[in-house]
Structure 1
Amino acid sequence: MDRWITTSEASARLGVKRGTLYSYVSRGVLTSRRMPGQAESLFDRAEVDSLAAAKHDGRRAGDRLLRFRAVATRVSTISDDRLLLRGTDITDICATMDFTAAARFVLDVDAPVPPPPVDLSAVEQVPVERRIPLTVALIAANDPLRADRTDAAARVLGVLPVLANVVPEIDLAHPWVDLLVTMLIDNGLAASTTAARVAASARAGVFDSLLAGYAALSGPLHGGAPASAYSLVEAVRGGVDVDRALADAVVDGRLPGFGHVIYGGDDPRATIVLDRLRADRPESTALAAAEVIIARAGRPVNVDLASAVVALELGLGPRAGEVLFQYGRTVGMAAHVVEEYGEAPLRWRGSNTGQGRQA
């Protein structure tokens, strides 16, 4: 049903009367259907958006802005502080699947398609948090099927072992790490997934679309956030007074590891990971430091704090959280890219309030 919108919605998006809308149907420009119990006809949303983009191309730039309400996704849903991937609660996914199984489930593929052979010798020369994006860039540059959208999900599934191999410092098979990257597969229309979808809307190849997502992910308020949480937990574990550490950690009113724009309470992903650590290693010094911080902060915890505790306890280094974010979110971004390929192209277009021209 996400594909279909009502007559009223279609009229509003196109800025036309109902009679004009039905004339489009009679001329074969739009497709409509009737459903039992539905008062209005239903219209194909992708067709309406595509026609709206064409109609609005000659209007002022502000009229060409497509709002996020036009984006429907089945990849993940967040409701009442619950995260569902493909309609399944993340708690159930973690209870029944490891990361590989969850990746197949979210990408909706069974068999991977191996990537083309690529010389990755340059990858080991860059910092660990830059290796996955560089690897994907090299694969994209050497991929003879770069612009081919066929089997995009299976091709990304085939790349995951390659990405794991370029970060040998991190044991991605460790149960805590596997759990964490599963948590990070997707979390709604975040900056990274939206960036990847924008590229896919322009019909960039799947690997190039992933690069757009990695760029957004690299920001300190997104994929880089676990590093700040790592510094906070490390400071308290090292003996810094918790009040001093909290004061030093706040940037622009944000406390790393706490709060989330989507969740009103604790991030369910953080709850799952921290509960696992409490059960597996109750004597963890990193966990103990985090507990002190949580008690003093008095704010809802997010997954960045859980990521920091895992990285500290396993000795993975301060930027490991960003790497794990990249690795897990590769699956979610790819699922969004494939979904976007089924939508009207070029459906994101910003407004220009100045006097200059838009390309």
Structure 2
Amino acid sequence: MQEWITTSEAADRLGVKRGTLYSYVSRGVLTSRRMPGQAESLFDRAEVDSLAAAKHDGRRAGDRLLRFRAVSTRVSTISDDRLLLRGNDIADICATMDFAAAARFVLDVDLPVGCPDVDLSPLAAVPVERRIPLAVALIAAHDPLRADRTDAAARVLGVLPILAATVPEIDLSHPWTDLLATTLIDNGLAASTTAARVAASARAGVFDSLLAGYAALSGPLHGGAPASAYALVESVRAGVDMDRAMSDAVVDGRLPGFGHVIYGGDDPRAIVVLDKMRDDAPDSETLAAADAIISRAGRSVNVDLASAVVSLELGLGPRAGEVLFQYGRTVGMAAHVIEEYGEAPLRWRGSNTGQGRQA
């Protein structure tokens, strides 16, 4: 029996749309791979058949496995492949605000509050992608108001220049990096914002809550994803065979820079950034390599590819995308933390089916 089936066959067997299949892959429910010369992704037949056969309370197993608790938020909304921050389309925000203005808008605060003087010299000994989380950890450790939730938004606004100064290798004032950071401010209840909200639910201070978010962000499938996309674009730009480069880049069945668990089509954040770069640098070899990959992949592009193109074109290094992710998402996570402070405490709790004691 054939072990791998096409996207169309898998979708037919499960009775779902193609976009739903890719969301299953993103969440680890199904495995897919891409073969040279193959127009569609291939799916493991056994996994697809098992998922199609399993039933639970009259629902498909996929629905059961992917069921999440509904949590409302006013920070961002995603609908019909549009991202809205505080009710405003991300494209409109990027057209009218730089990162600093967008941060004030999302945090709903005008003036920053300074943070305590902290010795940040330990940052020199860690990689660039570890500096922002470490800086926030040091600020939290020396903050006499660590448990005080007063002026949380203004205090986060106050630390943004400090965080920017921890990564002098990355010019955060460049129009492309500023734009990318703005698009990365928030994207709904992602792993990082959810982790930050869980900490805030226990009434951790705003900086300690941010640390929980940075921990989730550090995973290779979240904030670390741009590095894999960077390697892909760099290989193609260097002349590596397209199919080989794409095959080598696959991580856990995912082609970095493509597909998204939320967006069925192209990620609107990627469109904003790539369109800006095409306007500014139409002859860029990096953009040409990215466009060739997009054409060959035949999939919807996500912001990780845009991040890779920015980092590679500006010579910022493979981990710059993760740093820009941390910097931009600091604002969104803080906004979620502050919103969570207005909810009932300790509301985030999973169900325990065993008999063990819960503290």
TM-score range, shorter chain: 0.7 to 0.9
- After the TM superposition, which of the residue ranges 282-291 and 257-266 deviates more from structure 2? 282-291
Q: Deviations over 1:193-251 (max 9, x none)?
A: 00000000000000000000000000000000000000000000111011000111112
C-alpha separation in 2, matches of 1:67 and 1:85: 22
TM-score with structure 2 setting the length: 0.81
User: 1:68 matched to which residue of 2?
Assistant: 69
Aligned AA (1:202): A
Secondary structure of 1:77's aligned partner: strand
User: 1:164 matched to which residue of 2?
Assistant: 164
User: 2:87 matched to which residue of 1?
Assistant: 87
User: 2:256 matched to which residue of 1?
Assistant: 256
Within 5 A, what are the aligned runs for 1:9-20? Answer: none
User: 2:283 matched to which residue of 1?
Assistant: 283
C-alpha separation in 2, matches of 1:352 and 1:127: 38
User: 1:212 matched to which residue of 2?
Assistant: 212
Aligned AA (2:284): S
Q: CA deviation at 1:354?
A: 2.4
Q: CA deviation at 1:67?
A: 5.8
Within 5 A, what are the aligned runs for 1:228-307? Answer: 228-307=228-307
Aligned AA (1:115): C
Q: CA deviation at 1:68?
A: 2.2
Secondary structure of 2:240's aligned partner: coil
Q: CA deviation at 1:307?
A: 0.2
Secondary structure of 1:122's aligned partner: helix
Q: CA deviation at 1:355?
A: 2.8
Aligned AA (1:114): G
Q: CA deviation at 1:138?
A: 0.1
Q: CA deviation at 1:124?
A: 1.4
Q: CA deviation at 1:353?
A: 2.2
Q: Deviations over 1:18-48 (max 9, x none)?
A: xxxxxxxxxxxxxxxxxxxxxxxxxxxxxxx
TM-score with structure 1 setting the length: 0.81
C-alpha separation in 2, matches of 1:124 and 1:114: 23
C-alpha separation in 2, matches of 1:341 and 1:354: 30
Establish whether residue 327 from structure 1 lines up as the match of residue 332 from structure 2.
Answer: no
User: 1:312 matched to which residue of 2?
Assistant: 312
Aligned AA (1:178): D
Aligned AA (2:87): G
Aligned AA (2:288): A
Aligned AA (1:149): R
C-alpha separation in 1, matches of 2:247 and 2:154: 46
User: 1:36 matched to which residue of 2?
Assistant: none
Counting matched residue pairs gives: 293
Aligned-CA RMSD value = 0.9
User: 1:190 matched to which residue of 2?
Assistant: 190
User: 2:11 matched to which residue of 1?
Assistant: none
C-alpha separation in 2, matches of 1:349 and 1:279: 47
C-alpha separation in 1, matches of 2:121 and 2:268: 39
Which protein is bigger by CA-based radius of gyration?
1
User: 1:3 matched to which residue of 2?
Assistant: none
Q: CA deviation at 1:163?
A: 0.1
Q: CA deviation at 1:329?
A: 0.1
C-alpha separation in 2, matches of 1:243 and 1:347: 47
Q: CA deviation at 1:358?
A: 1.3
C-alpha separation in 2, matches of 1:352 and 1:72: 24
Q: CA deviation at 1:357?
A: 1.3
Q: Deviations over 1:132-152 (max 9, x none)?
A: 000000000000000000000
C-alpha separation in 2, matches of 1:166 and 1:67: 36
Stretches (4+) displaced over 4 A:
none
C-alpha separation in 2, matches of 1:251 and 1:171: 29
Q: CA deviation at 1:157?
A: 0.2
Give the share of equivalent positions with the same residue, in percent: 84
**Structure 2: gaps spanning 5 or more residues:** 1-66
User: 1:118 matched to which residue of 2?
Assistant: 118
C-alpha separation in 2, matches of 1:247 and 1:354: 41
Establish whether residue 340 from structure 1 lines up as the match of residue 344 from structure 2.
Answer: no
C-alpha separation in 1, matches of 2:118 and 2:268: 38
C-alpha separation in 2, matches of 1:322 and 1:256: 14
Secondary structure of 2:121's aligned partner: coil
**Structure 1: gaps spanning 5 or more residues:** 1-65
Secondary structure of 1:235's aligned partner: helix
